[in-house]
Amino acid sequence: MRTTLATLLASKQILLTDGATGTNYFESGLASGEPPEFWNVDKPEEVVGLHQRFIAAGSDIILTNTFGCNRQRLKLHKAEERSYELAKRAAELARQAADGAARPVVVAGSVGPTGELFVPMGELTHEIAVASFSEQMRGLRDGGADVAWIETMSSAEEVNAAAAAAISVGLPYVVTCSFDTAGRTMMGMLPGALAEVVAAQPVAPVAIGANCGVGAADVLVSLLAMQGTAHTLVCKGNCGIPRFVGSACVYSGTPELMARYATMAIDAGARIVGGCCGTTPAHIAAMRAAIDKHTGGEWPTIDSIVREMGPLTNAAPSVNVARRAPRSRR
């Protein structure tokens, strides 16, 4: 049952995305250092199966297995010529899972950063980045993606290049950044600056927001700092804080914590909520249940976030934490 993200937003007040890709594949046998994108061809049943489990858990939006499916990332595995092929196949697999659902599910084409620095700090130019992202997004579009989901960005230059690529191939797009360095992105962007960055584009994004980072508490504080924008807001945080147990990376977030995070994100203004690294279908199911019964609460403050989610890893940036009246969703 195909739909668009804009249509789904018009019909539902709150949308739930899926959770992690790579960290869930590790549980199914993905080796450290192995690119998850290769599984689109080598283990398609695992890719479809994870999509189906997230849909069964209640996700309204599923992200394709293409986070690192650009030439710059794939060349680390001597696979830079496979960007279009792997992206198209990933979108086809997600489309298969979405079309098999009994309700509308949006297929979002995951587009992560190149991992390279722009000139003058590095060698990546706007033109090269746009060409690389466009190649990946053509594959996503041709495979059946409904929207380009540009995520975990850290620089204005890369946001603009990815947005320009989405527009050039005719895909609506979402942009989220990771504010994981003292409340900023790695390249120094504050949460409130993202709306200003995308304002330069001739076609506005469907939504903007924050994802990944260092935990549920910190991403909620980033969300608070994005208030005042006219854009639909996205909050897609990691499942607690990661720690190593032996050789395994384990995330601290329980389903109960992620359920509370989801309702706090809604109270802070997010209309699209989900999980990032470490988030399993079990976490998403708990978030779905919490969202469906949530009728509105107090506007979160830094103090209430820390009380409910645990301590911040980063120092909080200057944010709008004015007390606001509870809002009803019904």
Indicate the CATH number for domain 5-309. Answer: 3.20.20.330
* Confidence (pLDDT) at 325: 38
Q: What is the pLDDT of residues 277-291, one digit of tens each?
A: 999 999 999 999 999
Domains in the chain: boundaries = 5-309
pLDDT > 90 in the chain, percent: 88
Q: Which two tokens stand for residue 165?
A: 């690529």
Tell me what the mean pLDDT of segment 12-29 comes to: 96
pLDDT over threshold 70, residue 251: yes
pTM for the model = 0.94
CB 59 within 8 A of CB 104: no
